[in-house]
Structure 1
C-alpha cells in the first residue's frame, strides 16, 4: 500500500535524524492516503470522508512534496475548486487538508513546522436557508402526497414536520425504539454521534399508529434516498418550487419556538449541541409570535 511505503521512508529518515529528507520524500498525497486508510475508518462519517479524500487526491496539489508546499498552493486550490464546487464543500475539503496535516505533525511525528491552511481565508458560508411552508403549500403538499405512488409519503411528511427528525433518522427508525405509551422515539445513532430521545406530539403518535402493519421492524419501510426521490416528485406534482425535504426540519424547529419552547428544550428535540447551529435552522414567522407581545 502507498502509505506503507511512505511509513517505511519516514522511519528510515527519522532514524537518520534527517528532517529535510522526510519532507522531500513524502507528498501531500501520501499523508492523505495514510489518513484515509488508517484513521478515517474509525470515524462515524468515514464513508463521506473517504469519498472526499479520493476526490481530493485527483488534484495536482496532492502530488507535491511536503517540502514544496506553501499557503499559496492551498489558496490556489481553494480558488480552483470554487469554480466548480460550492463554498461549503470547499470548506470541508480545506478542513480535511488541515486535519490530515495536523495528524501527521502530532500523531505521526512528521517534522512539519506549520499548518499552511491556517494562513489562508476560507470561503464564506452561504446564508442559511429560510425556506418554510408558505400559504397553502402544506395542503397542496399533502394532497399530492396522498395521490403519490408511495403509500408512506404523506405520513412521512407529517411525521417530519411534527418531530423535526432528519430524513436518515426517519428512514432508520425502528419499532423497538418507539414507545407510543410514553410518546418517545429513541434514536440510538444520530448524525452528531450521540443518541437522543424525541418526544412525540399527539399527531406524531397518530401517524405511527397508522403505520402499524406495514412492516414488523420499521414504521417507515423506505430508504432515505427513496424518501428524497419521492418528495421531489410530490413537490413537482404540487407545483411547489425550491422546497427540500430538509426544509421540513426547519419548519418543525421554527414551530417549536413559536409554540413557546425554550432553546434548551428545542435542542433536546432537534439534537443540536451548538445553539448557534440551532439558530441557523430557526426561522420564525412574525405573525405567529405577535400574541406574545404586550
Structure 2
C-alpha cells in the first residue's frame, strides 16, 4: 500500500517523487529506532565515568535549601548504590543523547512535510535548543531549592520530622522538575512555527493574551512536581514573557514581509 508524501527529497521517494511503499516506511522507522537507541547507549557510556560529578551537580540545590547532602540523602537498600548510579547514568545519558534522538526523529518525519512546514521547523531548531537549556537552568537555579524547602515545610506542618530523603527518589524528583521546565519552555516554538506557516498572526496572539496566561498557569500547575505556587510562578512568568517575545518576533516578520511586498 503506497503512502503519499509531499516535499520529500529525491533519495527518499520512488521514481515519481510522490509515493513511497509502506514497507519502506517501516524500514525507515526501524532504522530510526536503531539509531536513536545507539545514540542513547553512547550517551550512557559517556555518562558512566562522569556519574559522581553529575550526582554532585544534582545535589547542590539540596545544599542551597539548607540541607547537607552527605547526611540528608541516604541509601536504604543493599543494592541502593547501584540503583542510584544506574538512575544517574540513565537520565544523564538521555539528556546527552536527546539532541541526536530528536534529530533522527526529525530526519524520519521531514520528507512527509511540505516545503513551507520544513522551512518553518528548520528555522526554529536553534531557538528551540536555546529555550530548552534556558528552561533547565531556570528550574535548576530558581525552582529546585525553594521547591525542596516547601516540601520540607509541608512535612513539618503535618508534624512529620524529615530526617532524610531517599537518594533515588530525590534524583527522580530533580530530573522530572528540570525536564518539565525544559519542555514547557518549548511551547513558544509551536507558536513561532504556526506563525511562519501563516496559521496565526501577532494580532491574534495579542487578542488571546488573557486566555494564554490562564493556559500557562494551568500548565505550570499540572506539570510541576511540587504543589507550591512559587515554583509554578517560576515556570509561568518566563513562559508569559516568551509568549510576548513570540508576538514581537511575528510582528517584526509581518512588518518586514509587508515592506518587501510594497
Q: Please state which band the TM-score falls in when normalised by the shorter chain.
A: under 0.3
> Which structure has greater helix proportion?
2
Greater C-alpha Rg? 1
